Amino acid sequence: MRKFFLGLFLAFPLALVAQQKVAIVNTQEIMSTLPDVKAAEAKLQDLAKKYDADIKTMQTELQNKAESLQKEKDTLPEAIRTRKMQEIEDIQTRIQQSYQAMQEDMNKQQQAALAPIQQKVQAAIQKVGTANGITYILEHGAMLFVGQDAIDLTSKVKDALGIKATATATPSTKK
């Protein structure tokens, strides 16, 4: 009798797991096909070009001052030569600080641009998961193995977001 209850107790969790549905979704594929993401990337690229132009301007200024100092260093009085060397160091410091500030701003801009899109995708995943009675949805790229019986919801999430299917989409196994 005791073995019977022990066997029943051990089999009960297995029965619960068997009833749960697990699916996968490829959010990278979804995000890459969203027009909102492409627009955000274009905006970020424009900002990056502006930042690059600013850095190049500062680098040109640095190069010009360094060349000028190199040409005149033997004829300049010590005080002027020291002042010009300090100007060059200041420009180098300014370039480094500007570069760091620009990188931080680019990261903030990227996060700000993608956050609402990611929320939109997450909401669609939850909606499709609920509609299909899915217990767990896992990221496709994080899986070490995906069996033939796996439920791939990527195309259904795309449909929920209004993304038209493309010929290059990866075929899903079971829907």
How much is the pLDDT for 170?
45
Number of C-alpha atoms within 13 angstroms, CB side, residue 11?
6
Q: What share of the chain in percent tops pLDDT 70?
A: 83
pLDDT digits (tens, 9 = 90+) for 95-140: 999 999 999 999 999 999 999 999 999 999 999 999 999 988 999 8
154 closest CA partner among 170, 132, 135, 136: 170
What is residue 25's three-state secondary structure?
strand
Tally of CB atoms within 10 A around 45: 10
CA distance linking residue 48 with residue 60, whole number of Å: 18
65 closest CA partner among 43, 95, 20: 95
Q: What is the mean pLDDT of the chain?
A: 84
How much is the pLDDT for 126?
94
pLDDT digits (tens, 9 = 90+) for 150-175: 888 899 999 998 888 654 444 444 44
CA distance linking residue 107 with residue 155, whole number of Å: 30
Tally of CB atoms within 10 A around 85: 14
How much is the pLDDT for 97?
96
The arithmetic mean of pLDDT across residues 68-91, rounded, is: 91
CB 154 within 8 A of CB 134: no
CA distance linking residue 85 with residue 45, whole number of Å: 35
